[in-house]
Structure 1
């Protein structure tokens, strides 16, 4: 009699992979909502700082810190779900998924390359508050060069579309590769993918990845991160204007 274990394992693997994909998508949506909330809290805190409501600003900062930590945990969980969904193979014994997830998350946290990108949100929050009354000045404990480095940081891998040359903040239909994480204008990258000459190679110089049509998407975080970049650009512009006026006053 032919063994039925292979088809059963295959079916179980398919269901687990599908469930993992759904959970990852839901988790990314939650992370995106957290990012939206931190941006909104930053804008409110800036207004409160202008009104010298320091205690309320501190309460908002504490709230942002909690959200950032929650976002980190969601990110670890999402990565663990993705890994297990890709790697899991049903065995003859029941799987303790709680332990499986806990072990995977612990390994992800212990990985030196697994550095939190969400801490940048807290850094940007504090910088926005500082700039209300101290635009152009280093934050306590920082040098002038640190302002340039941190104020221009964001989670986007590229800030212009390599095909159209437009800033990602001006793209009509931005999408991101699930493989190399580069961002493009959707219409332009789809034309690029169809090009037989270029064979679907990523148009970013030096990127070895191929870009596939079914792996170029507008993921839940992309639009949020683009909004964050717009916010950072506005802050930098405001700080530059204030600094220019200060220099004019000094010359007079």
Structure 2
């Protein structure tokens, strides 16, 4: 976390002088904060990627343990996965908080307490979004993989058809195509998301749209979200969520091909 709450008074004065000097140049301090936030978010996202890999590895181990009827060890792994997914949520919220603080920062005469800004934003994000959407999907994948070892083709206890459909199609993305360019979200090379309404766009298309529309609003039908270039960003989780959607689409397409092939065999 970035913080200028330093005990060394002479150093603090030098930092203050540097900040005030940089503030006289266009976006000097803001640019430094943005660069620092990118480094921090990149490091944090590496942790997120490692957690996802660990969950996948633990799922594979659990499947093997279930084949060996080691139920207690499977349960222990499930509990460990739940703990990892809690950490996953914290990492995701931290990345979002860092980016939010950096995007909203404006230099002033007084030194900014970045730790307080970050802590406040992190607390707000945790209160409004208790967990990230991927958590339910990843835990579902773990439980399904274990269940299918001995019960392939059977619904898990407590599931009904609607639950299965909703979970299997669960996606954290609010829209699947850019409302301006018309491109599918999974095919956009430079995606961005509104910090306010959370809709996703092709960056070049939405920047052009905002530039040509005074007081621009989100082009998604019935959405009243206001758009500002500074608040349309590639947040910490967006590319991970898009990659998750690509993976879900591949799984769905594979299942359809298998089903079609099975029908052809049955007809023969």
Q: Do both proteins adopt the same fold according to a TM-score greater than 0.5, normalized to the shorter chain?
A: yes
Which of 154, 163, 176 does residue 180 from structure 2 map onto?
A: 163
- Counting only pairs closer than 5 Å after superposition, residues 77-226 of structure 1 correspond to structure 2 as 111=127, 113-117=128-132, 118-126=134-142, 129=145, 137-196=154-213, 199-226=215-242
Which residue in 2 is equivalent to 1:235? 251
Partner Cα separation in structure 2 for residue 230 and residue 128 of structure 1: 20
Aligned residues: 238
Identify if the C-alpha distance between structure 1 residues 203 and 38 changes in structure 2 by more than 3 Å, giving closer, same or farther.
same
Corresponding residue SS for 1:67: helix
Give the TM-score, by structure 1 length.
Answer: 0.65
Identify if the C-alpha distance between structure 1 residues 18 and 174 changes in structure 2 by more than 3 Å, giving closer, same or farther.
closer
| Shift of residue 43, structure 1, vs aligned partner | 4.9
Give the TM-score, by structure 2 length.
Answer: 0.62
Identify if the C-alpha distance between structure 1 residues 131 and 235 changes in structure 2 by more than 3 Å, giving closer, same or farther.
farther
- The gaps in structure 1 that reach 5 residues or longer are 1-10, 87-94
Measured against aligned partners, the alpha-carbon deviations of 1:9-60 in whole angstroms (never above 9, x if no partner) come to: xx9xx9xx9999888766644553344234434554676678x454797776
Which residue in 2 is equivalent to 1:73? 90
Corresponding residue SS for 1:176: strand
- The gaps in structure 2 that reach 5 residues or longer are 1-19, 24-29, 106-112
- Counting only pairs closer than 5 Å after superposition, residues 15-30 of structure 1 correspond to structure 2 as 28-29=41-42
1:32 aligns with 2:32: no
Measured against aligned partners, the alpha-carbon deviations of 1:68-98 in whole angstroms (never above 9, x if no partner) come to: 1112334566678868x98xxxxxxxx9x99
| Shift of residue 199, structure 1, vs aligned partner | 3.9
Q: Give yes or no for contact 2:194–2:232 (8 Å, CA) kept in 1.
A: yes
Q: Give yes or no for contact 2:81–2:139 (8 Å, CA) kept in 1.
A: no
Task: Judge which range, 184-193 or 63-72, deviates more.
Answer: 63-72
| Shift of residue 138, structure 1, vs aligned partner | 2.6
Partner Cα separation in structure 1 for residue 44 and residue 185 of structure 2: 21
Partner Cα separation in structure 2 for residue 33 and residue 121 of structure 1: 20
Q: Give yes or no for contact 1:39–1:228 (8 Å, CA) kept in 2.
A: no
Partner Cα separation in structure 2 for residue 74 and residue 46 of structure 1: 21
Q: CA RMSD in A?
A: 4.8
